[in-house]
Amino acid sequence: MQTLFHIVAGAPEQVGPFSHATEVDGWVFVTGQMPTFPGEPGHPVPPGIEAQTHLVMDNLKRVLAGIGLGLEHVVRTGAYLTQFETDYPIFNAIYRKYFPADRLPARTCIGVTALAKGALVEIDFVCRRPPQ
């Protein structure tokens, strides 16, 4: 069993000591992405849950594309919100637009006290690579 550790060119710079994704036996675990701008580590995160959710999803798509996958390979998501009570409905409305209604991944969404970079949202993925 071989484990691959992916650092994806063009994806956002990591905010800690971790790979963008790890892969074993066709399972791909994508590290939680922040609302940061690829190539601009000093750029502040955008204000508001709407802009941050879109940027996080775009960053996740960048990581997936960099390892030859797409949103159709996502089987589970984890979402973390710092302002759960107010942002949950808005987050859900935006998140739903990224997946077909008949193919929503399993998901856990929890409220947390803080995230890196002062972010309001972080999302991670578990994906399954199709057999070759």
The ranges assigned to domains in the chain are 3-128
Q: What is the pLDDT of residue 42?
A: 85
Q: pLDDT tens digits for 7-31?
A: 999 999 888 899 999 999 999 999 9
Edge-to-edge strands, sheet with 3-6: 3-6, 21-24, 27-33, 121-128, 74-81, 106-111
Q: What is the pLDDT of residue 60?
A: 98
Q: How far apart are CA 90 and CA 103, in angstroms?
A: 20
Token pair recorded at residue 100? 């077909």
The CATH code belonging to domain 3-128 is 3.30.1330.40
**SS3 state of residue 76:** strand
* Half-sphere exposure at residue 124, Cβ-oriented, CA atoms within 13 angstroms: 14
